[in-house]
Amino acid sequence: MIILFGVFIRYNEESDAHWIEHRKAKNISSDIENDFYFRYPSFQDVHVMIFVGFGFLMTFLKRYSFGAVGFNFLIAAFGLQWALLMQGWFHSLDYTDGKIKIGIENLINADFCVAGCLIAYGAVLGKVSPVQLLVLTLFGITLFAVEEYIILNLIHARDAGGSMVIHTFGGYYGLAISWMLYRPNLDQSSRLQGSVYHSDVFAMIGTLFLWMFWPSFNSAITDHGDGQHRAAINTYLALASTVLTTMAVSSLFQKHGKLDMVHIQNSTLAGGVAVGTAAEFMLMPYGSLIVGFCCGIVSTLGYIYLTPFMEKHLKIQDTCGIHNLHAMPGVIGGIVGAITAAAATESVYGPEGLINTFDFVGDFKDMVPTQQGGHQAAGICVAICFGVGGGIIVGCILRLPIWGDPADDNCFDDEPYWEVFN
Amino acid sequence: MIILFGVFIRYNEESDAHWIEHRKAKNISSDIENDFYFRYPSFQDVHVMIFVGFGFLMTFLKRYSFGAVGFNFLIAAFGLQWALLMQGWFHSLDYTDGKIKIGIENLINADFCVAGCLIAYGAVLGKVSPVQLLVLTLFGITLFAVEEYIILNLIHARDAGGSMVIHTFGGYYGLAISWMLYRPNLDQSSRLQGSVYHSDVFAMIGTLFLWMFWPSFNSAITDHGDGQHRAAINTYLALASTVLTTMAVSSLFQKHGKLDMVHIQNSTLAGGVAVGTAAEFMLMPYGSLIVGFCCGIVSTLGYIYLTPFMEKHLKIQDTCGIHNLHAMPGVIGGIVGAITAAAATESVYGPEGLINTFDFVGDFKDMVPTQQGGHQAAGICVAICFGVGGGIIVGCILRLPIWGDPADDNCFDDEPYWEVFN
Amino acid sequence: MIILFGVFIRYNEESDAHWIEHRKAKNISSDIENDFYFRYPSFQDVHVMIFVGFGFLMTFLKRYSFGAVGFNFLIAAFGLQWALLMQGWFHSLDYTDGKIKIGIENLINADFCVAGCLIAYGAVLGKVSPVQLLVLTLFGITLFAVEEYIILNLIHARDAGGSMVIHTFGGYYGLAISWMLYRPNLDQSSRLQGSVYHSDVFAMIGTLFLWMFWPSFNSAITDHGDGQHRAAINTYLALASTVLTTMAVSSLFQKHGKLDMVHIQNSTLAGGVAVGTAAEFMLMPYGSLIVGFCCGIVSTLGYIYLTPFMEKHLKIQDTCGIHNLHAMPGVIGGIVGAITAAAATESVYGPEGLINTFDFVGDFKDMVPTQQGGHQAAGICVAICFGVGGGIIVGCILRLPIWGDPADDNCFDDEPYWEVFN
C-alpha cells in the first residue's frame, strides 16, 4: 500500500503548497474559496457516519459489540486506502504525469466507497472471520470503483447520495454473499442472536448519528451553492417523515401495539437512502416527504415479513436486515431519481440551473431531461448486476475453507476473535 | 402533512436551482456567500443536540432508556415538520405567491422550536403515553410559533439563543402540564425511578454533546461575522464557568462531600441557557463567567432543595428537573439580556455595530438601548404567560382518559410501549 | 478567575461589534472572511475530542466511569479558562492597552492546552483525588504556556498538531507525576483494575471520536487554504494506516491470534499523534502512511512489553498507557517533523509556499529549511525537559498528605468521590 501510494498519489492543487501561487494565477480572491471550506464540515459528518454510525448500529447483538465496532473500524480503515487508489485511477488521474491528485473530495468519495462494503458487512455480521471481511472489502472496493465509473461517467447518471452506486450495490453485494455462505445450522447460535437492554441503547447511538448526518452525506459532493443547500433540505425532510411512518407501522403491526427497537434502529433511516439520488434535484419539499413516507412503510414491513421469508425460503440470512434498509430503499431511490430527472423542466430549474444541476456539458451538452431519466434507470440496473454478480463470485471465494470462519455454534460471539475477560 | 407541504412549502432563493442566475443578478462573487456555508456547521451541531443531546440526557432512568431516546426521536421528527409550517406562516411567508420559502435558517429554527417541546417532555418523562406526547408537541409547536412571533417581531426583543423563547417557555409549559397531570400515587413506581451505573454513563453522552455544541446553538442564527463569533465565545465561557460552580456546590452540599451525577448531568448546562439572550451582545468575557457562575449555584441548589419542595408542596413532579435546568436559568438569561441591552452604548458597539446588533432598522430605527431593555423584559413576561397558560390548557386536554397513559405502578418503565426481551 | 478575566480579557477585532466598521476599513469584501468561518468547524471537532474523546476513552475501567468522564469534564472546564489567561499573556497580549484579545483561535489553543493535562490524567487515572487533579492542571497549564512560548516563538519551531508541545510534554509530565506517586501496594485494587464488556464499548466511543476528528485537531490552527487542507489529508492517511498495523500486531503477538481491546482503543490513535508536527508540511501521502505504519507497531508493542516492564522495574504505573499512545509517538512525530522540515525544497513547496509554510518572515526571514530542522529538534528536547522536570516538581507537591487521595485498596473506584447507588 505504501509503495502504491508512493508511486501514484500526490496532493491536488488545492492541498499543495503551491496553492498560494495557483490562487494568484487564477485570480481567486480568498483562501475561503479553497474547496476545503465548502466540503470539510460535510466530510467530517460523513466520517462520523462511517465509523460511529455504521459501527454502533451493529452493536445491537448481546455479545458481538466488539466485533461490530472493531471490525467495522478495520474494514473502513483498510477500505478507504484502497478506495483512494481505485477511485483515483478512474476519476482523479492526471494524465500529464500519471499521478492521482487528491483533495478533500477524494476523501469523501473514499468514505462513500467504504460505506458500500460496510452495508455488505451488515448482512454477514457475526458469521465471518476478519480475514473474510478483508477479502470482501478488497473485492468490494474494486467492484465499486468500476461500477461507479460506469454509472457516473459512461452512462452519465447523477447519484449524489449514492442510492444506486452505494446502497443498491452494497445491499445486493452483501445479500449475494450471505446467500453463498448460507448456514443451515445457524440456530445453534440462536442464544446469542438477540439483544440485551443496553446493547439496544448502544445501537441507538449509531442510528442517531446516521440519521442526523445523512443530510451531509447526500450533500457532501453535490454542486457548490444551491446544490449542497437543496440536498441537505430534501434529506432532512425525507428522514423526518420516515420516522413517523416507521413508528406508526411498527406499532400497528405488532401485537399490543408495542414498538420494536429493530424498526426504530433501522427503518427510520430508509428515507435518507431513498432520497439519495434525487436530493440535489428540484424534488420539492413535499416530494421528499412522500419518498420518506413510502420508505418508512416498505422498510418496516420488510423487517416484519420479508426478512423471515428470505431466511426460510430463499436461504438468505440477513443479520442486520440490509435488504430493508439499503437494497430496497436504494432501488426506490434510483427510481425516484429517474422520474425526477425525466420530469425536469427549464421553468423549474432555470436555463442555467438545468445545465448546472444535470451537468449537461461537454459530450453530454445535447442531452435533455427525458434522456437523463433513461440513463438514471440504466444506472439502477448496472448497480444491481454488479451487486448480485460480484457478490456471487466473492461468495464463492469466501467459501474456500482457508479463511478461519467461526463454527455454527460460535456465530454472533466475540469469543473466537477477541480477548473477552467477562 | 404532505398536502400542507405541497401547498405551502418551496425552496428559497439560496436553495433553488435558480441560485446561479440569482447570484449573477445580485453580483454575488462566490458560491461561498450562500447562507448554507455560514450556518450549516452550526445547524448540524444543533441537530446533534436535539436528537443525541436531549435523547441521551434522559436515558438516566434504569428502565426507560428506549422511551427516552425513542420518544425523543418521535417528537422531534414530528415537531420539526409542523414547526416548518407554523414558523413559516409567521416568518417566511412570501406574500407575492403565498408560499413559505425555506432555507437552512428555517431548519435551524424548526430544531429550536422542537427544543421547547423536548424540554417539556423532560418534566413528564416516564408518565405519559406516546400519543399524549404527540398532542403535547402539536400544541407546543403552535404556541411556540405564536409566542416567538410576538416576542421577536411585535415586541422586537432579541433572543439569539432562546433563553426566553425556548427555555423559559418550554420549561413553564412542561411544568404546568406536569402540575395538571399530578399523580399522587407515583411512589408505586419508585423502584424504577432511579439510575443504574451504565444508564448514568449513557446520560453523560447527552450532557456532553449538549454542553459542547451549545456555542453553536446560541450562535446558529445570529448575525454573520462578529455576531456568530461573539455568541460562540460567550457561551463557551459561561458553560466552562458553570461546570466549576456545579461541581463545587454539589460537593459542598452533599454529605461526605461526594458528587452527585444528577447535578453533573444537568446543572453544568445551565450557563448555556442563561447566556442565550445576551450571547450576541457585548456581554464581555467576564460577564459570561459571572452568568455561568451564578447559574451553576442556582441550578444545583434547585436540584437539592427546590425539586423535592415542588413535588411535596406544589404537586409538581418534575422528572428531569427542568425547572432547575431550563425555567430558572431561562428567566435569568432574559434578565441578563435586558440589562445588557439597556446598558449598550455607542462607544462599546460602534455606531454601525449598535444598529447592526440590535437591528434598529425599519419601524424600529428610532429605538435606543434603554428602550430595547424594556422590550426585552416584556419578552420574558410573554414567554412565562404563554408557558404557564398554554401548559394548563394542554394539561386539561391531556387529562382526558382517552390517551392510553400508563398506570401509576407502570411509570418509568419501557414495558408498556416497547418490546423488551430481557 | 472572574476578576482576572475582567481586567485582562476582551474580544478581538473579529468578534467585536466594531467588526462591521473594521471590515469596511480593511476593505474585506465579505463576512465569510471572518476567521470564525475558517476555524469554527474544526474547533467544534477539537472540542468533541477533548470532552467526549478523552472522557470516554478513559471509561474502560469497570467502576471508574463516573470519575473518568466527570473529572475529565472538571479538569477541562477549569483548564480552558486558565489557559485563555496564560496563553493570552504570551501570545495575544495587545501592548497598546494591556488586554488579551480573544477570538476563535484562542479557544482552539485553550482546548489544545487542556489536552496536555488530560493526557497526564491518563497516567494517574483512578489513583488521585479531584483536588490533586486541579493542582495538576493548574501547574500543567502554566508549564504548557511557557513551554509553548519557548518552542513556537523563541525557537521558532512549527508544531501544528502539537506532537511536541502537547503530546510529548503531556506524556512525560504525566509519567513523571505517576513515578513520584508510585504506590507499591496498588495490587490491593487489582479487582477493579479491568474492564467489563460494556465499559469497553463505552471506551470505543472515545476512541472513535478521537480517531475521526484528529484531522481537525491537526489542521485547526494551520494556515488558511492549503495548510488546513493538507494537514487534514495527512492525518487521515496516517490514522488509517495505524489501524491496520495495530490490528495485525495485536493479533500476531497475542496467544490464539485474538485481538485485545486495549490496543484497538489506544494504539489506533498513535498515527494522529505522530503526524502532528509534519501534518502541514509536504509530507506526501505515502509519508503519512509510513508514519502511521511505524507508530502502530511501536505503540502496540509498547502496550504488550513496555508498560508491564515500566511498572515492574521503573516504578511507573501508567493506567492508560499514555507512554505508548502519547509520549513515544509524540517524540517520533517531533523527529519526523524535523526531518521533513530539513528536507524541504523550493521545488516542492514553491518559493512563496516555502515562506508561507514555515513562516520565514520577520526576524526569521533568513532562515533555511536545514536550520528549521535543527530548531524542530531543539523543540523536542525542550518539550521532554519541561515534561519530566515539571512532572517531578508537581509530583512532589502532590505527595503532600493534604489532598485527600484514595487509599491503596480504594483506587479505580468511584465510591470515594461519587454517590453511587448500585
Question: B352 CB near a chain C CB, below 8 Å?
Answer: yes
Q: Please, which chains are in contact with A (at least 3 CB pairs closer than 8 A)? A: B, C
Which strand ranges, in their side-by-side order, compose the sheet holding C93-94?
A: C9-11, C99-102, C93-94
- State the nearest Cα–Cα gap between B367 and chain A, in angstroms: 36
- Rounded mean pLDDT, C188-192: 85
- Determine the residue among A15, A22, A85 to mutate to test chain C binding: the one whose Cβ has the most chain C Cβ atoms within 10 Å: A15
The pLDDT tens digits of the residues spanning A190-226 come to: 888 888 899 999 999 999 999 999 999 999 988 888 8
| C232 → chain A, closest CA residue | A104
B138-147, B322-331, B353-362, B388-397: least confident range: B353-362
B5-9, C171-175, C181-185: least confident range: B5-9
- Rounded mean pLDDT, C210-217: 95
Which pLDDT does position C366 carry in this prediction? 82
Whether the CB-CB separation of B77 and A244 falls below 8 Å is answered with yes
- Determine the residue among B3, B28, B69, B85 to mutate to test chain A binding: the one whose Cβ has the most chain A Cβ atoms within 10 Å: B69
Which pLDDT does position A6 carry in this prediction? 77
C-alpha cell at C408: 491503596
Which pLDDT does position C77 carry in this prediction? 94
Which pLDDT does position A422 carry in this prediction? 65
- Residue A9, helix vs strand vs coil: strand
Question: B14 CB near a chain A CB, below 8 Å?
Answer: yes
- List CB contacts (< 8 A) between A113 and chain C: none
Computed over every residue of chain B, the mean pLDDT equals 91
Q: Please, which chains are in contact with C (at least 3 CB pairs closer than 8 A)? A: A, B
Question: B198 CB near a chain A CB, below 8 Å?
Answer: yes
The pLDDT tens digits of the residues spanning C327-359 come to: 999 999 999 999 999 998 888 888 888 888 888
Which pLDDT does position C243 carry in this prediction? 95
Which residue, chain included where needed, has cell 452519465?
Answer: A156
- Taking domain A2-15+34-410, whether its CATH number is 1.10.3430.10 is answered by yes
Residue window 39-98, chain A: list those with CB within 8 Å of chain C. 40-41, 44, 47-48, 51-52, 55-56, 59, 63, 65-66, 69-70, 73-74, 77-78, 80-81
Cα distance between residue A381 and residue A172, in whole Å: 12
CB contact under 8 A, C19 and B247: no
Computed over every residue of chain C, the mean pLDDT equals 91
Which residue, chain included where needed, has cell 452533599?
Answer: B254
- Residue A379, helix vs strand vs coil: helix
Residue C372 has pLDDT above 70, yes or no: yes
Question: C418 CB near a chain B CB, below 8 Å?
Answer: yes
Q: What is the DSSP string of B123-192?
A: HHTTSS-HHHHHHHHHHHHHHHHHHHIIIIIIS----TT-IIIIIIHHHHHHHHHHHHT--TTGGGGGGG
Question: B359 CB near a chain C CB, below 8 Å?
Answer: no
Whether the CB-CB separation of A147 and A165 falls below 8 Å is answered with yes
- State the nearest Cα–Cα gap between C100 and chain A, in angstroms: 27
CB contact under 8 A, B11 and A352: no
The pLDDT tens digits of the residues spanning B201-243 come to: 999 999 999 999 999 999 998 888 888 999 999 999 999 999 9
- Rounded mean pLDDT, A365-394: 92
- List CB contacts (< 8 A) between A215 and chain B: 44
The pairing of strands A99-102 and A9-11 is parallel
Which pLDDT does position C70 carry in this prediction? 94
- List CB contacts (< 8 A) between C44 and chain B: 41, 45, 212-213, 215-216
Nearest to A325 by CA among A241, A416, A207: A207
- Determine the residue among A40, A209, A229 to mutate to test chain B binding: the one whose Cβ has the most chain B Cβ atoms within 10 Å: A229
Which pLDDT does position B422 carry in this prediction? 65
Residue A269 has pLDDT above 90, yes or no: yes
CB contact under 8 A, B63 and A197: yes
Question: B15 CB near a chain A CB, below 8 Å?
Answer: yes
Identify the sign of the CA torsion C331, C332, C337, C338: positive
The pLDDT tens digits of the residues spanning C232-265 come to: 999 999 999 999 999 999 999 887 889 999 999 9
A102-116, A323-337, B23-37, C364-378: least confident range: B23-37
- List CB contacts (< 8 A) between A233 and chain B: 11, 15, 102-104, 107
Cα distance between residue A373 and residue A353, in whole Å: 17
- Rounded mean pLDDT, B388-402: 92
Which pLDDT does position B117 carry in this prediction? 95
Residue A249 has pLDDT above 70, yes or no: yes
CB contact under 8 A, B259 and C419: yes
Residue contacts between B and C (CB atoms, under 8 Å): 182
Share of chain C above pLDDT 70, in %: 100
- State the nearest Cα–Cα gap between A192 and chain C, in angstroms: 15
Residue window 319-348, chain B: list those with CB within 8 Å of chain C. 348
C-alpha cell at A213: 448526518
Q: How many residues does chain A have?
A: 422
- List CB contacts (< 8 A) between A88 and chain C: none
Whether the CB-CB separation of C87 and C114 falls below 8 Å is answered with no
CB contact under 8 A, C417 and B258: yes
Which of A10, A11, A422 lies at the smallest CB-CB distance from C196? A422
- Rounded mean pLDDT, A227-249: 93
Which pLDDT does position C15 carry in this prediction? 82
Which strand ranges, in their side-by-side order, compose the sheet holding B93-94?
A: B9-11, B99-102, B93-94
Residue B330 has pLDDT above 90, yes or no: yes
* Separation in Å, CA A80 to CA A73, A106, A128, B114, C389: 11, 10, 21, 37, 42
- List CB contacts (< 8 A) between A80 and chain C: 236, 240
Architecture of the domain defined by C35-410: Orthogonal Bundle (1.10)
Which pLDDT does position C422 carry in this prediction? 66
Residue A266 has pLDDT above 70, yes or no: yes
Whether the CB-CB separation of C69 and C247 falls below 8 Å is answered with no
- Rounded mean pLDDT, B257-282: 92
Residue A358 has pLDDT above 90, yes or no: no
Computed over every residue of chain A, the mean pLDDT equals 91
Domain boundaries, chain C: 35-410
Residue contacts between A and B (CB atoms, under 8 Å): 182
User: Maximum Cα–Cα distance for chain C, whole Å?
Assistant: 69
Cα distance between residue B207 and residue B222, in whole Å: 24
Which of A247, A293, A349 lies at the smallest CB-CB distance from B2? A293
The pLDDT tens digits of the residues spanning B53-102 come to: 999 999 999 899 999 999 999 999 999 999 999 998 888 888 888 888 88
CB contact under 8 A, B14 and A229: yes
Question: B282 CB near a chain C CB, below 8 Å?
Answer: yes
For residue A11, give the DSSP letter.
E
According to the 3-state scheme, what is the secondary structure of chain C?
CHHHHHHHEEECCCCCCCHHHHHHHHCCCCHHHCHHHHHHHHHHHHHHHHHHHHHHHHHHCCCCHHHHHHHHHHHHHHHHHHHHHHHHHHHHEECCCCEEEECHHHHHHHHHHHHHHHHHHHHHCCCCCHHHHHHHHHHHHHHHHHHHHHHHHHCCCCCCCCHHHHHHHHHHHHHHHHHHCCCCCHHHHHHHCCCCHHHHHHHHHHHHHHHHHHHHHHHCCCCCCHHHHHHHHHHHHHHHHHHHHHHHHHHHHCHHHCECHHHHHHHHHHHHHHCCCHHHCCCCHHHHHHHHHHHHHHHHHHHHHHHHHHHHHCCCCCCCCHHHHHHHHHHHHHHHHHHHHHCCCHHHHCHHHHHHHHCCCHHHCCCCHHHHHHHHHHHHHHHHHHHHHHHHHHHHHHHCCCCCCCCHHHCCCCCCCECCCC
Whether the CB-CB separation of A6 and C286 falls below 8 Å is answered with yes
- List CB contacts (< 8 A) between B202 and chain A: 198, 201
- List CB contacts (< 8 A) between C348 and chain A: 17
- Rounded mean pLDDT, B284-312: 92
Whether the CB-CB separation of C209 and C52 falls below 8 Å is answered with yes
CB contact under 8 A, A260 and B420: no
C-alpha cell at A311: 431466511
- Rounded mean pLDDT, A132-142: 95
The pLDDT tens digits of the residues spanning C273-317 come to: 999 999 999 898 999 999 999 999 999 999 999 999 998 899 999
The CATH T-level fold of domain B2-13+42-410 is: Ammonium transporter fold (1.10.3430)
Centroid of chain to Cα C2 = 27
Share of chain B above pLDDT 70, in %: 100
Beta bridge partners of C10: C101
Whether the CB-CB separation of A201 and B202 falls below 8 Å is answered with yes
Residue A1 has pLDDT above 90, yes or no: no
- Cβ neighbours of B365 (radius 10 Å): 9
B12 Cβ partners below 8 Å, 6+ apart? Answer: B92, B101, B102, B103, B106
- State the nearest Cα–Cα gap between B11 and chain C, in angstroms: 23
More confident residue, C118 or B11: C118
- Determine the residue among C43, C199, C226 to mutate to test chain A binding: the one whose Cβ has the most chain A Cβ atoms within 10 Å: C226
Question: C15 CB near a chain B CB, below 8 Å?
Answer: yes
Cα distance between residue B9 and residue B80, in whole Å: 14
- List CB contacts (< 8 A) between A349 and chain B: 17-18
C-alpha cell at A405: 470462519
- State the nearest Cα–Cα gap between C416 and chain B, in angstroms: 7
Residue A55 has pLDDT above 80, yes or no: yes
- Rounded mean pLDDT, B131-135: 93
Nearest to A14 by CA among C314, B203, C353, C55: C353
